[in-house]
Structure 1
Amino acid sequence: MNIKNYRTHFIQQLSAIYDIGEAESFFYLILEEKQKLKRIDLALNPDLTFSDEEIALWNSILVQLKKEIPIQYLLGKSSFYGLEFEVNSSVLIPRPETEELVDWIIESRKWEVGSGKFGIGSQDIKILDIGTGSGCIAISLAKNIPNAEVFAIDISEKALATAQKNATMIQVEVSFIITDILKINNLEKLPPSHFPLPIYFDIIVSNPPYVRELEKEEIKKNVLDNEPHLALFVEDDDALIFYRKIAELAQKNLSPKGQLFFEINQYLGKEMIDLLEEMGFKNVELRKDIYGNDRMIRGTR
């Protein structure tokens, strides 16, 4: 079958669920991944065809897209901060908003080069990423801050296996540890053989679960039906449970003038400012994402 004709069929089949531009982007992502062909190749060779076996593969992908399974899971990968990460149903798909959080951390390190403490090119710094998932935050920081020693925690063994694959593929060193952050009172008290971390960190960062149950109706079906709820949702009556716990640990395990970074629920910006200030963090700063939503916050011990 002519590939250009199949493209028309493919987009038409998805038009009831996705807009035309998104459906077309899916087509070219799959074309490059499965056929090793780019858009320009199809433009220059309009008579290219699919074999019967290839049509069967494309039709099976089309069925899954019509069920709103995310394209990233179907391809097994997602781009984040200029890097390619393996993703699967055990981990969240990395979001552009989280790239902004990573960028903020990296830029803050560059800004402080002259301080002789945290800047890129100065002495080594220790970073802890809590709830690492695919490892996108920890790995991106390790890749872009050469003097960083990076540690990452997650409760999911499958997520950490994926994160370790990503670190190996991207060729960075990150120490991954499985533990339930809500059950830790002080990182110092855990036996080194179980939890081989330094006591103090210069940066602690987390993108923890923050979507309240009452906000489920705002979540797209492809996310709700496919991405791990453990990494997404919190109870309505204690939406800041992870932030409070991580901030408590940061009080004990951040180095003097160390910084705590969070990605947050867009509706809880004021509550997060109040939380950090009440817990004694200084220079608390709330930032908006590219969509104009309160999305990330920073505080200094």
Structure 2
Amino acid sequence: MNHKVSAIYKESVLQLTPIYGEREAESIINLLLEDHLGITRIHRLTNPERELSESDHEKLRSAMLQLLRNVPVQHVIGFAYFMDRKYLVNKHTLIPRPETEELVELILDENDRHQKLNILDIGTGTGCIAISLALAMRASNVTGWDISEGAVKTAQKNSQALGAQVNMEVQDVFGEIPPQQYDLIVSNPPYIPEADRIEMHENVVAFEPEGALFVSNDDPLIFYRRIAEIGLTHLAPGGKLYFEIHEAFGLATKDMLRTKGYEDVKVFQDLNGKDRMVRAILL
């Protein structure tokens, strides 16, 4: 059997292409080789005749079997990258996505990194938003909430591993809210209508937590409205609210926030030109 890394790469990409498309298949195999076996893309290209050991070949074969069953590559290797840092991911958490990096970058662009702020991340999941803000705004106090105990435990592990000071707490936004004021509240809540489920890839629907993904078709802004209400009583004067949103609900979210009494409400587009983020200020 040919164990040369160049041949294995080509064969693996061919196997995954019918499921993921060629470009994503190439990205997945590059990630698998680098983070599972320590073979970087440059090393693969400059050492195409390198032979994989039997143990490495078996490790790759086992990973491929999972990928062919639509298991996300991040679950296969156990982590995902977010803003160039590794985050533990599992069945309790969403896999961090590039659009959410843009949300963090927006917050960092609009706020003084050296100012001491009280920051709350609602629906923290892996903790990627809260941890990124805590590491970039070290004078600030950052708290992450999630209704899932499993997600909170995962976020705590990520916070410790990355050296961030974040208070991770189990909290239901529809329950009683602790009496604390914040200068900034951010959330990437569930926002995908159930009607969109049929269009989504199986490796998302089958392996990521439904409660962190989907909302009712009848009330897709349910979490945004509730978090906006929390902001009315828990944001300090001049406090800011930041959301990641569904591309179809930018105007609706903006109108809802204005109706609630927020000012300077603005919708921002992501790198693909889709409405993806909203910022509002409570004066």
Gapped regions of structure 2 (runs ≥ 5): none
Distance 2:80 2:265 in 1: 32
Q: 2:270 aligns with which of 258, 273, 289?
A: 289
Counterpart of 1:64, as a letter, is Q
Distance 1:44 1:251 in 2: 58
Q: 1:147 aligns with which of 120, 132, 139?
A: 139
Listed as ranges, the matches of 1:159-198 within 5 Å are 159-184=151-176, 186-188=177-179
Counterpart of 1:269, as a letter, is G
Listed as ranges, the matches of 1:54-133 within 5 Å are 54-109=56-111, 119-122=112-115, 124-133=116-125
How many residue pairs get aligned? The number is 280
The Cα of 1:33 is off from its aligned counterpart by 1.7
Percent identity (aligned): 40
Distance 2:233 2:150 in 1: 29
Distance 1:265 1:15 in 2: 28
Distance 1:85 1:71 in 2: 13
- Kept in 2, the 8 Å contact 1:187–1:253? The answer is no
2:236 matched to 1:234?
A: no
Q: 2:21 aligns with which of 19, 22, 42?
A: 19
Distance 2:95 2:258 in 1: 31
Q: 2:193 aligns with which of 184, 187, 212?
A: 212
Distance 1:15 1:269 in 2: 34
The Cα of 1:200 is off from its aligned counterpart by 0.9
TM-score normalised per structure 1:
0.89
Counterpart of 1:187, as a letter, is P
The Cα of 1:9 is off from its aligned counterpart by 1.6
SS in 2 for 1:73: helix
TM-score normalised per structure 2:
0.95
2:129 matched to 1:137?
A: yes
4+ long deviations beyond 6 Å: none
Task: Tell me the C-alpha RMSD between the 2 structures.
Answer: 1.3
The one-character-per-residue Cα deviations of 1:132-152 (angstroms, maximum 9, x if unpaired) are 000000000001112210001
SS in 2 for 1:255: strand
Q: Give the match for residue 244 of structure 2.
A: 263
Distance 1:68 1:151 in 2: 34
The Cα of 1:34 is off from its aligned counterpart by 2.4
When structure 1 is superposed on structure 2, of 20-29 and 168-177 the one drifting more is 20-29
